[in-house]
Amino acid sequence: MAMDLLGRQKMPLDASSSKQPSVATSTVSGGGAATGVGVTGGSGAVGGVGAGGAGGGAVGVGANPTGVGVTGASAIGGVGGASSVMSKQLTAKRSLKLGSLAEDIMPTTLGVGEEPFRVRLHHLFSQIEKEFEILHAENMNLREKLEAVAGTPRDSTVGERLPLQDAFEVDGSVNKSFKSKLGSAGSKVKAGHKLRAQTSRIVSSFKAQSVVSSLVREFCGHKDGVWQVSTKAGQPIIGTASADHSACIWGIDTGRCLLQYQGHSGSVNSIKFHPTRDIVLTGSGDATAQIWQAAVNWEVPARKGHSSEEELDEEEEGPYEEKERIDVLRTPLCEFSGPGGHTSVVVAADWLPGGDQVITASWDRTAILWDVETREPLHPLCGHDHELTHASAHPSQRLVVTASRDSTFRLWDFRDPIPAVSVFQGHTENVTSTVFTRDDKVVSGSDDRSVKVWELRNMRSALTTIRTDSAVNRLAVSASGVIAIPHDNRHIRLFDLNGQRIARLPRTSRQGHRRMVSAVAWTEDISSNCNLFSSGFDRRVLGWGVTLPPKDN
């Protein structure tokens, strides 16, 4: 059987068929003899085509651009024969069905007004738009209820800033319920139950916690990303290490840069204050670690004399505070380099208890224990398979932990003449930081989006594992056991050592970091509005006021 363009069988054109189409020939003047075929009962061939005549070949009156639904019996320039009443009825039915199919597939050229397929699309899009409007209204209503339950004041101020009182942000749980509602119309009731259940859990978490956090102060002045921020015990100052080859000391209460150190020739990757003296240890991309004097001038320095034209230029460039003179230091007290030293970037450095020795970690896959007085290396610490990312010392014991991109961290014990080492493989990607707590625990963070808490006496397996939604950078643990976790996704989260989430610091268009948060640091020895500091690659350091809940145990 022959097939037509729509895949249907053609009827044979024999004399016995009752559905044989009428075929007639005619001679048309002006164009020579031509033959015209008029299909009246055919099964959908590209019909009604007649050749000849003054106008050339033409399509029959009943022809359709899709080649279906031919209802006309003749073509312009052709002659169609008469057919039976039964064939006309069958043709009319087929034309109705095939014509509706063609209208759904392609816009018709014979109809007047808007095409059916566009009308249908407009109708569907209007329904989707109405659904989104309903969801938006529900979302706004839910936010108002959450703010009412949390008791978040919108008009409270700290100094001249507008802090956003922290409340456990929803973390996308409401959005997930909205996505489930968009799945199908029949699942709206089920999604509504999920939304109410999630809302109740959020409300209960508000009632269980009493954490209040707000942005208090910004420290701006670096010209590139800030790798680390550090605090000084007993003094209202902080130190920052930046990729702009400088390290700065800032006054917490004033937000003013008190001293800038420019002794390194590479990115300054770490900074640590001496436990008791006014000196600072920094590690740099120039493969050295340096100690420099951190004596600061608390008095506001007077401005240098300028001509009237220079003063006019300064007024146009910025406010008075940004043009204050900054003390600059370029000469270190001592430098750790040379034979036996590092051959690549120094990513971290820290003081051992007592301050007579320091530990440095490098991209050359080694850490080195140095003597401060002689500036000589005492012990090279080898064993990591890839570059080191961090190193820190225990606050009271001669213990050091080093982290590496080989997904492990190592515990080095210098309490005996021969150092002992233990290797821990709890993470699946780069270990970015490891720090000690005051109750002899180790907290490690990794690019695998997890933070683990380990017990020093039994470090075979982690006591607690905290799962997050972004890579973890250089974290910090407060004296009360609160872990501040900086993330690549610009957020800062607070957890306790048991893995319970305490809060997430607010991050809006006016508050929080605009790029990844590289490090955090706690301070608790001074009476200040700020007790947590964060540094990021938006070139800023932020001071936060965090009111923690009382400890239950």
The per-residue pLDDT for 457 is 83
CA gap 79, 24 in Å, rounded:
6
Which domains occur in the chain, in start order?
218-295+324-547 (2.130.10.10)
The per-residue pLDDT for 430 is 97
CA angle 211, 217, 221 (to 5 degrees): 140
The per-residue pLDDT for 511 is 84
Tens-digit pLDDT profile for residues 323-379: 567 899 999 999 999 999 999 999 999 999 999 999 999 999 999 999 999 999 999
Instruction: Look up residue 345 and give its amino acid.
Output: V
Tens-digit pLDDT profile for residues 20-49: 444 343 433 333 333 343 433 443 333 333
The per-residue pLDDT for 300 is 63
Tens-digit pLDDT profile for residues 231-276: 998 899 999 999 999 999 999 999 999 999 999 999 999 999 999 9
Query: What are the beta bridge partners of residue 404?
Result: 388
Beta pairing, strands 257-261 & 328-329: parallel
The per-residue pLDDT for 25 is 39
What average pLDDT does the segment 368-391 reach? 96
What average pLDDT does the segment 461-488 reach? 96
What average pLDDT does the segment 424-436 reach? 95
**pTM greater than the 0.85 cutoff:** no
Confidence of residue 210 (pLDDT cuts 50, 70, 90): low
CA gap 290, 264 in Å, rounded:
8
The per-residue pLDDT for 273 is 97
The per-residue pLDDT for 529 is 85
pLDDT at 448 over 60: yes
What secondary structure letter does DSSP report for 482? Answer: E
What average pLDDT does the segment 486-515 reach? 92
The per-residue pLDDT for 409 is 96
What average pLDDT does the segment 285-306 reach? 78
The per-residue pLDDT for 398 is 95
pLDDT at 153 over 50: no
Name the one residue in this structure whose structure tokens are 């109410």: 196
In order, the DSSP letters of 159-210 are: TTB---------TTHHHHHHHHHHH-GGGHHHHHHHHHHHHHHHHHHHHH--
Percentage of the chain modeled with pLDDT above 90? 49
